[in-house]
Amino acid sequence: MKKLLIHIAIVLALLAVVDRLAGWGLDWLRDHSPDGRYFKTKYSLEIAQEDVIVLGSSRGEMNYVSQVIEDSLGMSCWNASRGGQGMPYFRAIQEGILNRYAPKVVILNVDDYDLEFPPNYEHAGVLRPFYHNHPEIHHILDQTSTFEWLLMQSRLYAYNSSYYYLIRPYFVQGLDGKTSDKGWKPRVDTMSVEMGKNLEPEPPKMPLNPEGVALFDALVKKFQDKGCKMFMVVSPNFGRSVDSSTTIEYLRKTSRERDIPLFVYSNDSAFITKPDYFTDPNHLNVEGARLFTSDLVRHIKPLVVHNQQLSSHD
């Protein structure tokens, strides 16, 4: 038994050493990434000082052109969206940003059925490499699993499954958007006719998910409390006109109660009937994204200018 315990202790000690050494190396790769997913997340959490912040999932990442927003509003813009993410990720990024400064404008992209589903904390696990340097996101990440705080003691675990996207930018750049795109992930392809035929059916009407709604409410309240001017946007999907879903109804209610302008594009025939604007049924391509962002900022601009005038009078 003594021999076994000694051997177990040796293995654990070696594992701890490898864990720390590998952790340093991986931290270095994360911090020096020339672009890509980890660069973007690090920028959002630690560097961004832009006036306008865009927050959303893959639709947020592909549909909002930072350059167009900057040129139109005359303000700097960073698109902090990330594909496959939802409210838990948005809340974590929000914590990282508000910990440093309060952006003047926040554009929040909400998918038309976002709040009907429980928030996916597991997906927010992509933030694990940032756990140790960011205590403000612990309360979000600790919910990804029961003993997450314990597992996070391992630096190797923090980088679990991340290697491909961590190393890729050192060899190929621009796949998640160039650094000059400021968070936007442009997609040049136009969707195929086949894709247009195999559309996802519209989900049945469902009640709101209380957990998702609570996260959304907290997100909105926190930005407003910090004085950020918020806009909520539901972006278009090809071939699916959604004028009203439980989520959209809730956004309308929030818009009224909190005085946050809401722009619903999911029923806008100028987009949803034009396959040339889409890279797949859910995401706009470069042409579509530019037109969409231009149209959005056309509506937003007067409100932002008005808000700035009010602020300067205060």
Q: Which amino acid is at 194?
A: E
Rounded to a whole number of angstroms, the minimum distance from the CB of residue 151 to other proteins is 7
Return the number of the residue (19 or 268) whose C-beta is nearest other proteins.
19
Nearer CB in complex with other proteins: 36/212: 36
- Between CA 26 and CA 129 the distance in angstroms is 9
Per-residue mark of binding to other proteins, 185-204 (x: CB under 8 A)? -------------x------
Cα–Cα distance, 134 to 125 (Å, whole number):
14
Stretch that binds other proteins, among 60-68, 71-79, 147-155, 217-225 (CB under 8 A): 147-155
Give the β-pairing of 262-264 and 278-280.
Answer: unpaired
Nearer to other proteins (CB atom), residue 76 or residue 145: 145
Residues 81-110 contacting other proteins, CB under 8 A: none
Which of 187, 60, 191 is CA-nearest to residue 114? 60
Encode 52-78: b = buried (16+ Cβ within 10 Å), e = exposed: bbbbbbbbbbbbbbbebbbebbebbbb
Q: At what angle do helices 286-313 and 66-73 cross, to 10 degrees?
A: 40
Residue range at the interface with other proteins (CB under 8 A); choices 53-61, 98-106, 146-154, 271-279? 146-154
Among 98, 102, 151, 291, binds other proteins (CB under 8 A): 151
**Per-residue binding letters, 19-38, with other proteins (x by CB under 8 A):** x--x----------------
User: By rule CB under 8 A, what string of x and - marks binding of each residue 106-125 to other proteins?
Assistant: ----------------x---
Asked if residues 78 and 107 have their Cβ atoms less than 8 Å apart, the reply is no
SS (H, E, C) 143-204: CCCCCHHHHCCCHHHHCCCCHHHHHHHHCCCCCCCCHHHCCCCCCCCCCCHHHHHCCCCCCC
Q: Report the residue number, 14 or 270, with the smaller CB distance to other proteins.
A: 14
Pick 18 or 206: Cβ nearer other proteins: 18
- Out of 32, 100, 101, 150, point to the residue binding other proteins (CB under 8 A): 150
CB of 280 to other proteins, least distance (A): 12
Q: According to the binding rule CB under 8 A, does residue 154 interact with other proteins? A: yes
- Interface with other proteins (CB under 8 A), residue from 14, 47, 206, 270: 14
- Contact between 3 and other proteins (CB under 8 A)? yes
Q: Give the residue from 306, 304, 309 showing the smallest Cα distance to 104.
A: 304
Distance CA 54, CA 56 (A): 7
Among 49, 163, 203, 299, binds other proteins (CB under 8 A): 163
Q: Which residue has the tokens 């969409």?
A: 292
CA-CA-CA-CA dihedral for 277, 280, 286, 287, to nearest 10: -10
The contact mask relative to other proteins for 236-275 (x = CB under 8 A, - = no) is ----------------------------------------
| Consecutive H or E run containing 58 | helix 58-63
Residues that bind other proteins (CB under 8 A): 1, 3-4, 7-8, 10-11, 14-15, 18-19, 22, 122, 145-147, 150-151, 154, 156-157, 159-165, 198
